[in-house]
Amino acid sequence: MQISQLQLEQVNHQIEALIAADSFYGKKLKEAGIKGVSTSEEFEALPFSEKKDLRNAYPLGLMTAPEEKIVRIHSSSGTTGLPVIIPYTAKDVDDWAIMFKRCYEMAGITNMDRIQITPGYGLWTAGIGFQNGAEKLGAMVIPMGPGNTEKQLQMMMDMKSTVLCSTSSYALLLAEEIKKRGIKDKIHLKKGVIGSERWGENMRKRISEELGIELYDIYGLTEIYGPGIGINCKYENGMHYWDDFIYIEIVDPVTLKPVSDGELGEIVITTLVKEGAPLIRYRTHDLSRILPGTCPCGSPYPRLDVIMGRTDDMMKIKGVNVFPSQIEEVLQQFPETSSEYQIRISHLEGKDTMRIYVETDGTVDFADLSERIAEKVKSKIGFTPLVKVVELGVLPRSEKKTKRVIDERYS
């Protein structure tokens, strides 16, 4: 998606505000002698923003609007070191609610729905984002917050909740609990709006089947408003995002050069109208791609594919960037293989080799399957891997996230 003239003008306003406020990024832009951009090339030369910078601006270094206009802060929980503090003006809060309302509408949710919100309220952006969007829509909110499954189920039955907002893991827990208690006929859920952690097709199927609901993936991050900047429509053809509020580029995570639409890379987001803490070219480290063409739903908003992992998962093999999700995608086209696989990368006689282990049952010709998979992988990533087909149950399984990529080059 090339940046439009209007978006460039909006970026210039963001740059002006940052410099005028002399905020953390304002100083950086000033030092770099940047006053504005007039072409997409100039835009693509702007420095990136990084999470570590945002931490360095702790506590209020990102604040770009005058204090009297700031109505709220949110914070992303830092697992290490300082958290990131994002100040919001009343307009930011309202813009976020407008985007979130659009998400609900994209999912076919109306003011006659009853929305049960289970993500947490507080410093982080989850619960309150779901809430503000639902109120903007005019729906009835049941603001539960996380945990207390007993009460969740009671309210879900008594209030006849029709929409569940949740993480995928909590949705699954609720689905299992409903099944165990045999109360499915008392549940009125029709739709689930699920926070955008990466989750597998199997989990999605289980939640959707056991609860009998349609699922929608919502995307967002605290640094850029919070959840609600994009969601899939009923065609499940990627997530529409609101390009009148944000500009999204996909860049190669190594060269940091923008890639073409359709190509996989890192999501980089620029806010277009934010006041409290505008961000220019913020590196999310989330992997996805922009889907070219128009969606069957007819929406004019562009689409991001589902999040396929983090840039940290990237492997460099024979000079090519490879992501486990690309291999997974190929394997999913072979129903004769199980959902387990393992990738081993080694360096032999001066050359990188990639071996992919897959499982199948005894009814399949192993050599033939191996050849067909190798061919498909080659067309996807550009070189031929060694595909080893093994019996069902041979590959390791664990309760926790199974380690699927083993890089023997550095061990």
Nearest approach in angstroms of CB 251 to Zn ion is 24
Q: With respect to Zn ion, which residue has the nearer C-beta, 57 or 107?
A: 107
Question: CB of 301: closest distance to Zn ion in angstroms?
Answer: 8
**Which residue lies nearer to Zn ion by CB, 300 or 335?**
300
Nearest residue (CB) to Zn ion, 61 versus 192 = 192
Nearer to Zn ion, 193 or 381 (CB): 193
Query: Nearer to Zn ion by C-beta: 217 or 359?
Result: 217
Q: How far is the CB of 394 from Zn ion (least distance, A)?
A: 41
CB of residue 214 vs Zn ion: minimum separation in angstroms? 14
> Residue 192's closest CA among 140, 136, 146, 234?
234
What tokens appear for 187 in the block? 């549940």
Q: CB of 334: closest distance to Zn ion in angstroms?
A: 28
Distance from C-alpha of 217 to C-alpha of 202, rounded to nearest angstrom: 15
**Cβ proximity to Zn ion, 103 vs 144, nearer residue:** 103
Chain center to CA of 360: 31
Residue 113 to residue 377: CA distance in whole angstroms: 44
Q: Using the minimum distance from each CB to Zn ion, give the nearer residue, 297 or 405.
A: 297
The distance from CA 111 to its chain's CA centroid, rounded to whole angstroms, is 26
Q: How far is the CB of 237 from Zn ion (least distance, A)?
A: 6
Residue-wise DSSP of 288-324: E-EEPS--TT---S-EEPPP--BGGG-EEETTEEE-H
User: In whole angstroms, how close is the CB of 40 to Zn ion at the nearest point?
Assistant: 26
> What residues make contact with Zn ion under the rule CB under 5 A?
233, 295, 297, 299
Judge contact between 38 and 44, C-beta under 8 A: no
Q: Report the DSSP pairing between strands 114-117 and 163-166.
A: parallel
375, two tokens: 């061919």
Provide the strand spans (E) within 68-125: 70-76, 84-89, 114-117
Q: Decide: 308 and 369 in contact? Cβ < 8 Å.
A: no
